[in-house]
Amino acid sequence: MNKPNSIEARVLSKKDAIAALLERNPAGLANLRSENWNNFDNYDMRDDPDTEWNNWVDWDQDPNPFSNSDSDDE
């Protein structure tokens, strides 16, 4: 059982807040859950180019994933 103030309980209680955040931003949702950006889903996959040590991601995917703009500055 989770204690009410455990990290797990606090994280799980943010369901609505995260849903609202992502609903505002479908591109952000896709990228947050993509294997290039997410270290936490598909945990047995080993082709994720992004780990915590570095700052290199696959820019070709979406340079501004949380932006609503379709423009690309390249």
Partner 1 sequence: MPELKETIRSYSEKLLNDFSFNKIVLQPTTTCNLNCTYCYLADRDTHHNMSIETANAISESIEKIGKPILLIWHGGEPLATGKQHFINLLNVFEKLRLKKIIRHCIQTNATLIDAEWCELFKYYEIKVGISTDGPDEYNQNRVNWANKQVTSKIMAGINFLKQYKIRFSVICVLSEKHLQNAKLLYDYFVELGCSSVGFNSPEREGSNDLVAKDFPELQNFWKELYQAWNHNPVIRVRELTYALSWIDSSIRRGTTRFIPKLLDLIPTISWNGNVVALSPEFSGVHAPKYENFILGNINHVGLDQIIQLLPEIHYYKEYVEGIHQCEKKCEFFSFCGGGQASNKYFEHGLLNTMETAYCRNVKKRLIEGVLNSLEQ
Q: Which residues touch 22 (CB under 8 Å, ≥6 apart)?
A: 28, 29, 32
Max alpha carbon distance in the chain (Å)? 50
- Give the integer Cα–Cα distance in Å for 50 and 56: 6
Q: Which of 1, 4, 17, 70 binds partner 1 (CB under 8 A)?
A: 17
Decide: is 61 part of the binding site for partner 1 (CB under 8 A). Answer: no
Decide: is 1 part of the binding site for partner 1 (CB under 8 A). Answer: no
* Interacting residue ranges for partner 1, rule: CB under 8 A: 6-8, 10-12, 14-15, 17-18, 21-22, 25, 28, 32-33, 37-49, 51-57, 59, 63-67, 69, 73-74
